[in-house]
Amino acid sequence: MKEPDLVDRFLELQPIWRLIGAAAMVLVAVLVWDEYVRPTAEEWTRESDRISNTIERARTLDQRTDPKIERLATALGPIEVPRSAAPGATRLESTVSEICSQYEIVPKIDGRTGSKLPSNSPLSSMAGGRVERIICELEFVSNSETVVDVVRDLEAEPEIESISSLRLKLVDDGPDLEVRIMVEAWIVPRKKS
């Protein structure tokens, strides 16, 4: 005769104990679902809703785009957003240094972070994180032709979003100018894990 297995033992119990055993198994299943399965499902639902909302905003963006902005975006081309502040700031400073070195200028360069866009702004949600501005301020002395060339190259550089400030001061009534330029770029800082 074979040894009774777990199901046979369960069926040999009195009906009240079978009911209690079945209720205990149902309770364990509900607790496992409540502790592990439901939170994961809710998290996946929230993430899919966020992705769905982003896709929907991107679809309707074409309908709301001002023709002037569309022409400007077409003229400027795609904008590359660095993924973290440190490489973005370093890259901005090295880009400015490269441009200045073409004209044999050694500027004093000061890079820093600026303001942040709200995390609920459309640009932040489309970029995948809170968008932050980095500023690079440079000072140098040079003649007017070189200053015009440097400003032209800074404006043409895709790494630089804009020149937010440009100050020129004549040095001792001579041909040289003391120049202070602030350029900026936008970055998406990496989330801390």
CB 113 within 8 A of CB 132: yes
Helix axes 85-102, 144-156, angle to 10 degrees: 140
Q: Read off the pLDDT band of 52 (50, 70, 90).
A: very high
Whether the per-residue pLDDT at 142 is higher than 70: the answer is yes
Q: What is the pLDDT of residues 83-108, one digit of tens each?
A: 455 566 678 888 889 999 999 888 88
Judged on CB neighbours under 10 Å (0-12, 13-18, 19+), 127 is: middle
Run of H or E residues at 23: helix 15-32
Regarding the domain delimited by 76-187, which CATH topology (the fold level of the hierarchy) does it fall under? Answer: Alpha-Beta Plaits (3.30.70)
pLDDT, residue 78, reads: 63
Where along the chain do its domains lie?
Answer: 12-63, 76-187
